Chains A and B, each alone.
Chain A
Amino acid sequence: MQVPAPFEYERATSVDQAIGLLERLGSSARLVAGGHSLLPMMKLRLANFEYLIDINDLHAELGYIRLSDDEVRIGAMTRHRELLESDVLAGVFPIFADAEKVIADPIVRNRGTLGGSLCQADPSEDLSAVCTTLDASCVIRGPGGSERVVTMEEFHVGPYETAVADNEILTEIRIPRKSFKVGSAYAKVERRAGDWAVVSAGAAVWLDQGRIVDARVGLAAVGPNTTGIPEISAALRGHEPDESLFELAGAIAARSCDPATDTRGSADYKRHLADELTRRTLRKAVERARS
């Protein structure tokens, strides 16, 4: 049995109380949501914290999926399983269910959360790629009820680093809705079910009168950040979608990413997948937007 170093533990009773604790304990404390990223690291003693503040009791407050005309709001404590099973999300952004089907396994999905996934900021993280694809923004709350909203680009400072300060909590993700036909899709290549991505890609396409008004692609596991690829969006806007366009997007994806060779695959292969999966997800997204 792998055992973590000693730590103290407290269950948060409200978001503000949790922030109060964070404020007092500083960098020696960490929030624990689903625990599926944090606890393995602590058991392997790759991470040691003196205090853990458990925010699972805040699920009632921070676990939700709310749809309005101009956006979707998802609480940070919403669990993978809830994202997978949400009919509301499936209706507007099927990319979530696509991704959730290939994230980890049912046991991890029962506990792991959207907030934990984004805050872990692992470059192979799938939900970051989904949120990037959908141009999501992140709501961060700090001491005294202060709140700020940042883009995904701002949110991700680097691998395992986010804009969330020691005394702050990510509370919500907001995804804009546009008044066009939208389609989205996600694809992942993994060595085995439940494994982290060799590469994965998300795509979203907004169509007006058959033409692309906007398109976004988000990749995971091909470099240190999960920012979208603006060049693809620029190349696709204004055109009618077809195979040659997808091919162009794939080529841009392949050259815009910066994968590393590791036990999951060679850099060349990953670059090829960035191309292949970009084409596949764009194709699917367009198909969905049209139907």
Chain B
Amino acid sequence: MTTTQDAKLTEFEDNDQKPVGFGRMLRKEDARLLRGRGRFVDDVQLPGMLHLAILRSPFAHANIVSIDTSAAEASPGVKAVVTGETLKGLGLAWMPTLSNDVQAVLATDRVRFQGQEVAFVVAEDRYQARDALELIDVEYEVLEPVVDVRKALSPDAPVIRTDLEGKTDNHVFDWETGDEEETNRVFASADVIVKEDIVYPRVHPAPMETCGSVADFDPVEGKLRLWSTTQAPHAHRTLYAIVAGLPEHKIQVIAPDIGGGFGNKVPIYPGYVHSIVGSIVTGKPVKWMEDRSENLISTGFARDYIMRAEIAATREGKILAIRTNVLADHGAFNGTAAPVKYPAGFFGVFTGSYDLQAAHCKMTAVYTNKAPGGVAYACSFRITEAVYLVERIVDALAYELQIDPAELRLKNFIQPEQFPYTTKTGWVYDSGDYEPTMRLAMEMAGYDELRKEQAEKRARGELMGIGIAFFTEAVGAGPRKNMDILGLGMADGCELRVHPTGKAVVRLSVKTQGQGHETTFAQIIAEELGIPPADIDVLHGDTDNTPFGLGTYGSRSTPVSGAAAALVARKVRDKAKLIASGMLEVSVADLDWVKGAFQVKGDPGRSVTIQEIAFRAHGAGDLPDGVEGGLEAQICYNPSNLTYPHGAYICVVDIDPGTAEVKVRRFIAVDDCGTRINPMIIEGQVHGGLTDGVGMALMEMISFDEDGNCLGASLMDYLIPTALEVPDWETGYTVTPSPHHPIGAKGIGESATVGSPPAIVNAVVDALKPFGIRHADMPLTPSRVWDAMRGQATPPI
């Protein structure tokens, strides 16, 4: 059960049959997915297909002394056993990561994290492949691991990346933003400075479907077909061309239905490459599908930032400046997926939604003996960390100044007339009107009543907390002038064809993993072209059949690809207008567009529908001079700026004083993602993200023991929330369109994941106020809350 601001939640009014695009509409893809007729990578069956299993390192750090594969090779059904040595011979032992580092496809010299790929077996079925792994004899010489990120740069720390020439420490990069001198100056003259050490622990996206691929290399055609769990099929195709040296037109990457991504399926994993090598070596299609533990221990994690936050303010509560120092754990290889010029992603938006005088951040990233990754899990390129930092430290300031946290925020918001607003770290917020969003959330929550209730409960010794988070996101990467991934600009193509009978097919460069693209994009085209969404097919995920683009992550589909879809539809409409003018024998200037038809100005009786125009475009008879037949267009959209959604979240928790268990009683989420295409899909995205937030705030963490063993290797150890941990979500919205996006939409995919953890943590810390608590780190498990209650809160790492 959920409640929303929209009264008519259940009314869908056959919106898919109407020419008007925006509004509630059931998802087109659901009929397939709910009836079990989805086709995921593991559903792909090809004649003669073999199965691949990966042998992984049991140690976090060890030299490989020797590998004996003879027993595995002799095992029933085994077709090939491949080690790092084999790949080295082919020049394939290493591959580039998305951050211009390299990662081992199979370890040759050393293993650098527990779960690293050491060898793989290809066999007739997956049982035989898995059984043969046990017969591979690897001799390891165990090395001291670097587990504690704080010690990674100490002079006596073992050097992890001995593969990099001349590397003598575990340093990855230093990064800085803002004006240090100016910030220090503002701090020096501030009335109040509040400082807090804040940890955002390592978490894992844990999508329902794990990663996998089916590679089918045709030695005659020289063509590779790769079905894989990828959020970015086009980017992957180009990278495979670079890694494997195959010509790009001979590679077809197909992302079929994807069972959740959350950033986990942005990188290229060694397993994908293994399946390609396996297919080339055996001449047969090869399937690799990782199991749950493999997914949790070896694929892209998220967060792992240790942050020192400082905020400067006047005694009256005017926030002046924020500065922060961050130590970032990047694991054994820097596999961060972020635009190359942004090694810390978009962390620079840590200035939040506030009008500051100065800001500065200094960051150091290091290698440790842990799985690589860094940016994943619905984080909008590190905005999750940034928003957590600012919303936590603003709350700490409210605590110190004894000002209500809602009031403090309202006092410091960037004002509507200040947009476009350039932050002190150089981000240009496109549009925003924060106060109405905040006020709506407070009204829905009954904020004043809640505070009263809290005061009464406190008097009785009960623990109730109210937490607020107000966030501004930066999504829709991004303008090609400064954003690329490995040299590939972050623009997106879109192609639209209207068939003779007026039905249409639109081809996207982005790829849904559950976000509902097949519906949202049909609605965008419908809105622009007046063709009912039911008559529009959305194709995506197949590089041979869709235009180039960088894929779906960082909430970029609607801001970038959605803009492309709207513009390609307008291009088709422009052409339709020319044809209509011929059909109606009037000049183009005398035509009006009414959803789905062109009408002669002042004579509504004379009009032609888009369907009639489509038939004419493909039919017999003359078209106006210079107009080609057909009704289609293609476009590549380069966004001029990011879009900046915002939202106000309020969370109410109760804590059992005896057991320290936290219960999230209420959660009010008011989102502003600009123009709303399908409110139902938006709410779905918000519900999912809020649930993620409950997980991160209260239970999720990938932790390691001192030997570098991953302690979150199964869903019994790595907890993700269930329906029982979440309240009935109360959602609302305001609409502040993006001025530069053709339909004013801003993106919603990650807002709730970004905004909910600080709201929940702020609520828990607020509940613990009677104990004099100003900060406690996630995950706020009962044990850790109990520690906090006794003044013994510790960082989780």
Contact = CB atoms under 8 A, between A and B. Distances in A.
Contacts of B699: 191-192
A157 to B, nearest CB: 24
A269 interface: yes
A280 B661 CA distance: 15
A3 interface: yes
Contacts of A5: 131, 134
Interface stretch (B622-630, B678-686, B778-786): B778-786
B783 A198 contact: yes
Contacts of B717: 263
Interface string B711-745: 10010110101101100000000000000000000
Contacts of B292: 2
Contact of A273 (B126, B659, B703, B711): B659
A237 interface: no
B787 to A, nearest CB: 7
Contacts of B130: 3
A192 B722 contact: yes
- Classify the interface of chain A: helix, strand, loop or mixed: loop
Contact of A280 (B658, B714, B783): B658
A264 B699 CA distance: 10
Contacts of B783: 198, 264-266, 269-270
A252 to B, nearest CB: 18
A6 B127 CA distance: 8
Interface in A260-275: 263-266, 269-270, 272-273
Contacts of A198: 782-783
Given A1-B291, A269-B787, A189 B782 contact: yes
A64 B698 CA distance: 40
Contact of A272 (B42, B703, B722, B786): B786
A194 interface: yes
A70 interface: no
A266 B659 CA distance: 13
Interface string A10-34: 0000000000000000000000000
A194 B292 CA distance: 18
Contact of B719 (A1, A2, A189, A195): A195
Given A189-B782, A191-B782, A276 B293 contact: no
B289 interface: yes
Contacts of B42: 1
B782 A276 contact: no
Given A269-B782, A272-B786, A196 B127 contact: no
Interface in B666-716: 698-699, 703, 711, 714, 716
A60 B567 CA distance: 67
Contacts of B781: 191, 264-265
B229 to A, nearest CB: 14
**Taking each of A3, A105, A192, A273, which has the highest tally of chain B beta carbons within 10 Å of its own beta carbon?**
A192
Contact of B131 (A6, A191, A269): A6
Contacts of A1: 42, 126, 289, 291
Contacts of A266: 783, 787
A201 to B, nearest CB: 11
Contacts of A189: 659, 661, 782
Nearest to B720: A192
Interface in B267-304: 289, 291-293
A193 interface: yes
Nearest to B42: A1
Nearest to A188: B659
Contacts of A3: 126-127, 130, 291
A193 B724 contact: yes
Contacts of B698: 191-192
Nearest to A269: B783
B659 A276 contact: yes
Interface in B191-241: none
A263 B782 CA distance: 11
A1 B699 CA distance: 25
A44 interface: yes
Interface in A236-291: 263-266, 269-270, 272-273, 276-277, 280
A194 B131 CA distance: 31
B70 to A, nearest CB: 20
Nearest to B701: A263
Interface in A159-204: 189, 191-196, 198
Contact of B716 (A196, A265, A273): A196
A277 B724 CA distance: 21
Contacts of B722: 105, 192-194
B719 A269 contact: no
Interface in A117-168: none
Contacts of A277: 659
A192 B786 contact: no
B654 to A, nearest CB: 15
A2 B291 contact: yes
Contacts of B711: 263
Interface in B522-545: none
Contacts of A45: 134
Nearest to B724: A193
Contacts of A40: 716
B74 to A, nearest CB: 16
A273 B661 CA distance: 11
Contacts of A193: 722, 724-725
A192 B720 CA distance: 8
Contacts of B786: 265, 269, 272
A102 to B, nearest CB: 11
A265 B782 CA distance: 8
A270 B131 CA distance: 40
**Taking each of A40, A273, A280, which has the highest tally of chain B beta carbons within 10 Å of its own beta carbon?**
A273
Given A189-B782, A265-B782, A266-B787, A2 B725 contact: no
Interface string B58-94: 0000000000000000000000000000000000000
B689 to A, nearest CB: 18
A194 B720 CA distance: 11
A195 B782 CA distance: 13
B548 to A, nearest CB: 34
Interface string B768-797: 000000000000011100110000000000
B512 to A, nearest CB: 24
Contacts of B716: 40, 195-196
A276 B789 CA distance: 15
A69 B131 CA distance: 54
B50 to A, nearest CB: 15
Nearest to B212: A1
A6 B78 CA distance: 16
Nearest to A195: B719
B231 to A, nearest CB: 22
Contacts of A194: 722
B782 A192 contact: no
A5 B127 CA distance: 8
Nearest to B660: A269
Interface string B455-490: 000000000000000000000000000000000000
30 contacts: A1-B42, A2-B293, A3-B127, A3-B130, A5-B131, A44-B293, A45-B134, A189-B661, A189-B782, A191-B698, A191-B699, A191-B719, A191-B781, A192-B698, A192-B721, A192-B724, A192-B725, A193-B725, A194-B722, A195-B719, A198-B783, A263-B703, A263-B711, A265-B782, A266-B783, A266-B787, A269-B660, A269-B783, A276-B659, A277-B659
10 shortest A-B CB distances, which residue pairs? A265-B783, A193-B724, A269-B783, A2-B291, A276-B658, A192-B719, A269-B786, A189-B659, A3-B130, A193-B722
Given A2-B291, A270-B783, 14 more contacts: A5-B131, A5-B134, A105-B722, A189-B661, A191-B698, A191-B782, A192-B722, A193-B725, A195-B716, A264-B781, A265-B781, A265-B782, A269-B660, A276-B659
Interface of B: 42, 126-127, 130-131, 134, 289, 291-293, 658-661, 698-699, 703, 711, 714, 716-717, 719, 721-722, 724-725, 781-783, 786-787
